[in-house]
Amino acid sequence: MFWLHAALIYVSFFSGCSAEENVRQPTEDVMVVEGQPTKLSCTFDTTDLSPYLFWYKQPPNGNPVLMQRKDMIGVKETVNEFKGRFHARLNVTAKSFPMTIQRVRLSDSAVYYCALRPTVTEGYTAPLQKV
């Protein structure tokens, strides 16, 4: 068994966001048995009629890496490294964007972030938030 970490990020920390926009994730660690699936929760509030949602992975002692982005009309982009075992499903009615990890591996141990705005730009090397 090992731990996956879910972190809380409020979108209002990022420029261009209003107080009405935020994401919520449980802040507790998730204990997972290797080879089993797990689900990471993410709910959101926004006044944007067509927002983009994002999942990021930050490995221990590493920088956040974009995993997936999806918009309200169904356009989805998944980084090649995360295709296959990582699936995020956007539920507009429930305002949720949970991610399921199939056949969890030890290398999946990390902090996972859900966001309403892009939070990592290409070439950026410093962590966004100390965890």
CATH of the domain at 21: 2.60.40.10
Query: Looking at the domain assignment, is residue 10 inside a domain?
Result: yes
- Is residue 36 assigned to a domain? yes
Per-residue pLDDT of the chain (131 residues; tens, 9 = 90+): 555 554 432 222 232 345 578 888 877 788 888 899 999 999 998 887 778 899 999 988 888 899 998 887 766 788 888 888 999 988 878 889 999 999 999 889 899 989 887 666 554 444 443 33
For residue 21, tell me if it sits in a domain.
Answer: yes
Residue 123 Ramachandran class (φ > 0 left, ψ -120 to 50 alpha, else beta): left
Which pLDDT value is given to residue 49?
76
pLDDT score of 43: 92
Domain presence at residue 40: yes
Q: How many domains does the chain have?
A: 1
Closest by CA position to 115, among listed 8, 2, 1, 4: 8
In this prediction the pTM is 0.74
- Please indicate, yes or no, if residue 126 is contained in any of the structural domains: no
Closest CA to 20 of 28, 12, 8: 12
Domain that holds residue 89: 2-115
Q: With contact defined as beta carbons under 8 Å apart, do 25 and 115 qualify?
A: no
Q: What is the pLDDT of residue 93?
A: 83
Whether residue 131 is contained in a domain is answered as no
Those residues with Cβ within 8 angstroms of residue 15's Cβ, 6 or more apart along the chain or in another chain? none
Measured over the CA atoms of residue 98, residue 81, residue 117 and residue 74, the dihedral's sign is negative
Domain membership of residue 127 (yes or no) is no
> Is the residue at 50 inside a domain?
yes
Query: Please, what is the end-to-end C-alpha distance for the chain in angstroms?
Result: 21
